[in-house]
Every structure is written in structure tokens, then in C-alpha cells.
Amino acid sequence: MKTAQVIMDTGARAAALAVKSARVDVVPGYPITPQTSIMEAMAAMVENGEMHARFIPVEGEHSAMAAAVAASAAGARVFTATSANGLLYMHEVLHMASGGRLPVVMCNVNRGIFAPWTLWADHQDSFAQRDTGWIQYHCSSNQEVYNTILQAFRVAEQINIPVMVNFDGFAISHCLMPLTLPPQEDIDRFLPPHEPEWRLDPAQPSSFSNVTNASEYAPFRQMLSDDIMASIPLVKQAAQEYKDITGMWDGDTIDTYRLEDAEVVALAVNSMAAELRLSIDILRQQGIKAGLLRPRLVLPFPAEDIINALPQNAQVMVLDRNYNFGHPGGILASELKSVLFGRRNDITVKNRVMGIGGIDLTRTYMATEIRAMLDD
């Protein structure tokens, strides 16, 4: 029996290695900072024969997603990646992927969107695509990126809904961290070959995404809405089975730290949530019973798991790296308030927007901000 391999590598390379392990068939790609390293790595793997897939270099992100949709409709296991304005350029075709019930998996390397231009991370790009019908994971480490891409394929292909795996530009995409690579046999046990129930086939002509009447259109949209919510048990199952096979665990819909007796709960996603673990330790040393709740799954929002995880009478400090334009504060805070309303009236929710455009979020800075929020 082969053992796992431990290496040092970047988040971008972790993504590429996961896609290779998933035995993907087609990779349409277009470069955009800070995602480019993923496509460079995958193009090199295909070129040198390390990865047996069709790499399709295209002229822009709209074309990348159009090629992904076409390949998936033809029955291929498909991956692509983008960032920021590239994700915005894909917006139209994201709806085609979800409405067409195509299990594409895509990495979005989070970066602030224009104007003005920035290369650095915040979460406005992925959160701006909440209503496109994609499942969204948000990752806090290189290892989680690797693990989640494999789980994303599993979930996507079980329920035929595309999945977006998000992680921060540079803080994760370009930083080296230890990375455990399970044996390929274990990956193959977890993620069997893709066998779609339907595919475009010239030998058996069929219609795909044709024009419908209202009475036909509405049930399709309702089914997509229902099935997105029905993906939550599949996310949990995939996380548990991945743990059973590989021994690795990042949480399922949520991840927690020192939450059991917490009176103050920090809630955040991506790399800032990893740093927040250290902030929680600082607050504990200062006599504040603090804990962390990190939504790993952001869409669908894991309402029941969050409601059940929050301690009685907790004060929840939501740290958003985005703006909920038209409302005060950020999107995560609004999502949390909506699911708590009428269910957990003992919970107090406070919110700060921070880290926009890559402003550094250190353990001491976030601990200080949480202490200040307690006095608000």
C-alpha cells in the first residue's frame, strides 16, 4: 500500500495537483492574476504527459466558461479557474452552467474588483455571483484547497450543479505551506470516473437548453433552487467519506475552533479565518471566552449547522471582507442575521468590514477589532 506524500507547495499548485488527481478530461483556461499560476501548472502537466487531459487555451474568460459548458454537456469531467474581473466576465455563462445542470468545478482566486484596479484579495468577486446558481466553498489553507476540489467534483457530479471553490489571492495562491497528497488509489476510491446520465451525442440527437414556455421554464428554476439546498447533506457526506479514506478533515459545512464555551464568536471565511484562530488564542489569554465559526460552505448557506453550533447568548462578531452595497456592513453579516431571525433571539450580531483590497489582517489587528466591537 502506498503512503501519502508530503511536500511544500503553493495554493495554486495545490489546486492544479488536485485537478490532476481528479483525472479531469478537459481544462479550458485563460490567465488572470493571481489565478494564472494554476493554468500555467496545468498546461505544463498536460504538455509533459503528466496529466492526460485536453487543455484549451481561449481568448477570454467568457470563452473559458463557454468551453467548459460545452465539454461538460458532452460528458467530460471539466475544470477551469479564474479571478475577480475574469469571474465577472463569465457571469452570463455561469447561469448556463447551473441552469443546464452541468457539474463543472471552478476555482476562483479571490481578488478585489475594479474600479479602481487592485491585484489583492477581498471577497467581492465571488459574493457578487451568489445568485448564479453555483454551490460555493471558501477555503482557508492550501491543504483545504486540494481537499475541497476533490470533494467539489464528488458533490457536483452527484447532484449536477456546478461548484466554485474560492480561496484568497497571494495569501493562499502564492504562499508555500505543507501539503499532503494522498495516494492516487485513495483518490480513485473517493472519486470514481464520471459517468453522466445524459450527454450530447451525435449518434443520439437530443435538445439541450432550448426555448421554453413559462409553464415549462418555472419548474426548472424551482428544481435548481430546491437541489441547491439539497446539496448540504451531500457536502457533509463527501467531507466524511474523504476523511474516512484519507484521514484529512477541514470541517464539512462549517469549521469551528474553541467554540464550545465561547461567549464571543468570530465568524469569517478564507485566509482571515485561519489567522483568526490565533486571534482567538490572544483573546482567551486576555480573559475573553472567544471562539471561531468558519462557514466552509457559503452557498447554500448552512443555516441549521450555524444555528446549532452557536452557544447560548453568544455575541457574534462577523468580519466581512466585502461590502453589501445598499445595506450597512457586509454580506456574511446579512446572511447570518436572516437565518437567525425568529430562530435564535438570544444571539447578538455585530459586524465590521475589513481587509478590502488586500489590507493585511494580522492576528493582533483582528483581536483588537473584536475587543472594540464588544464596546460598540
- Give tens-digit pLDDT for 148-176: 999 999 999 999 999 999 999 999 999 99
Contact of 290 with 283, CB cutoff 8 Å: yes
Looking at the DSSP bridge assignments, the partners of residue 257 are: 292
170: left (phi over 0), alpha (psi -120 to 50) or beta: left
- Whose cell is 437565518? That residue is 339
b/e map of 254-269 (b: 16 or more CB within 10 Å)? Answer: bbbbbbeebebbbbbb
**pLDDT at 1 (0 to 100):** 66
d(CA 202, CA 194): 20
Contact of 351 with 340, CB cutoff 8 Å: no
Contact of 312 with 345, CB cutoff 8 Å: no
**pLDDT at 208 (0 to 100):** 84
> Quick check: helix, strand or coil at residue 149?
helix
Number of H helices, E strands in the chain: 13, 14
Nearest to 184 by CA among 43, 12, 17: 17
Contact of 328 with 171, CB cutoff 8 Å: no
Within the chain, which residues score under 50 in pLDDT? none
Identify the structural domains of the chain with CATH numbers, from first to last.
Answer: 5-246 (3.40.50.970), 254-373 (3.40.50.920)
pTM for this predicted structure: 0.98
Nearest to 167 by CA among 274, 78, 267: 274
Tell how strand 290-295 and strand 264-267 pair up.
parallel
d(CA 225, CA 216): 15
- Whose cell is 473517493? That residue is 190
> Quick check: helix, strand or coil at residue 27?
strand
> Quick check: helix, strand or coil at residue 163?
strand
d(CA 26, CA 55): 6
For 36, 48, 134, 208, 246, the CA distances from 12, given in Å and listed in that order, are: 8, 19, 21, 34, 21
- What residue type is assigned to position 225 of the chain? S
- The helix or strand, by DSSP H or E, that contains position 187, with its residue range, turns out to be helix 184-190
- What residue type is assigned to position 346 of the chain? D
